[in-house]
Amino acid sequence: MGRFGVFFVLSLVMTGACKGGVVTGPSPISDVTIVTLRSALDGSPVSGAVVQAGGQEVVADSSGSAAVPGLVRGSVMKITAGGFVVRDTKYSGSGVPLLLWPDLPGLIESVYSSINGYLIRWGNSDDNFRPEALLYVHEELWEDSVWQALEEAVNTANAAPTQARVRLVKEKPSPDLAFYDVMLDPTIDPTYAAATTGNRADRYGINGGTIRFRKKIYAANVAIILHELGHAVGGFGWHNPAAVGIMRTSYTPGLRDYTDLEKDMMRLVSARSTGNVRPDSDVINPFWSGAVVSYH
């Protein structure tokens, strides 16, 4: 499961024993893997979590540790715990604790694509890390009122736990950089949205796309801009149906920042690698499918 892998291995063997003047052993005991379980939000231990692997079922103790016998690299594990999202992953052999997602209201509906089921993840692999999302603002949106709103929204997004820093530019970036075309599009159906975001993705995750506003007045609205940036670099695929906030279907009027719940969701998405699929599984698909996904 990439950089957020798991665990360390404690191999137990019996020391040699003398029997009738002959040394026998060492006699092996089944290897035991200590699986350490933590909350992905605050790092607290998840006691009572149940780890299922290889036909075995082990309950984590008060420190969030479960001694699972017989794990080998690639073993599939299912972890369940009250108040947390069920986790399916493979044993990687590393010593990093396994981070579980608290089951926040609307989380699963918000952070996975309704089109292909993938986590909305900015490209973050070790060999193709994308620390910055450029916003290439087309000339029709350069007027002061729009630019000031864009600047405020970008500064607010960069202060949130988004997956990449955002930067405004007026010149078209090189094709090898990750960027969004930010433009007017009066053809957007007025019954559908004031603005839309189309994410482009490759096997490493999202690498840019388009952000379109139906009218300039919407491009000068900080909340609407933040909503679209939430789709681009915040990890939001759809809209949180259970919360008031920027990422609500029609956003919440008067807000100029993401809510604490939305920021927590961003943090949870950042605790997963590209290829995670609904609802929190790294078992089936190692990489994003490469589809272009659009939101509003």
Q: What is the pLDDT along the chain (296 residues), one digit of tens a residue?
A: 443 333 333 333 333 333 343 332 233 335 888 999 999 999 999 999 999 998 989 999 999 999 999 888 889 999 999 999 999 999 887 778 999 999 999 899 899 887 778 888 887 555 556 778 999 999 999 999 999 999 999 999 999 999 899 999 999 999 888 999 999 999 999 988 899 999 888 777 888 999 999 999 999 999 999 999 999 999 898 666 666 789 886 667 788 999 999 999 999 998 888 788 899 998 875 554 444 455 55
In sequence order, what DSSP letters do the residues of 58-98 get, joined into one string?
EE--TTSEEEEET--TT-EEEEE-TTB--EEEE-----SPE
d(CA 48, CA 58): 9
Say whether 143 sits in a helix, a strand or coil. Answer: coil
Token pair 């665990």: residue: 7
Please list the alpha-helical segments (H only) found in the chain. 107-111, 144-159, 216-219, 222-232, 260-270
* Residues making up the chain, counted from first to last: 296
- C-alpha to C-alpha distance for 105 and 204, rounded to whole angstroms: 28
The Cα 36–Cα 60 span in angstroms is 8
Domains of the chain (ranges, CATH numbers)? 2-102 (2.60.40.1120), 108-295 (3.40.390.10)
> Whole-angstrom Cα distance, residue 138 to residue 115?
28
Residue with tokens 């000339």: 139
Which of 240, 272, 202, 224 has the alpha carbon at shortest distance from 3? 272
pLDDT of amino acid 293 = 54
What per-residue confidence (pLDDT) applies to 28?
A: 35
Task: Say how far apart CA 167 and CA 25 lie, in whole Å.
Answer: 64
* pLDDT at residue 285, rounded to an integer: 58
CA angle, 151 then 198 then 164, to 5°: 50
Taking Cα atoms as reference points, which of 158, 96, 104 lies closest to residue 133? 158
Q: In whole angstroms, what separates CA 189 from the centre of its chain?
A: 30
Q: What is the pLDDT of residue 267?
A: 93
Query: What is the reported pLDDT for 280?
Result: 93
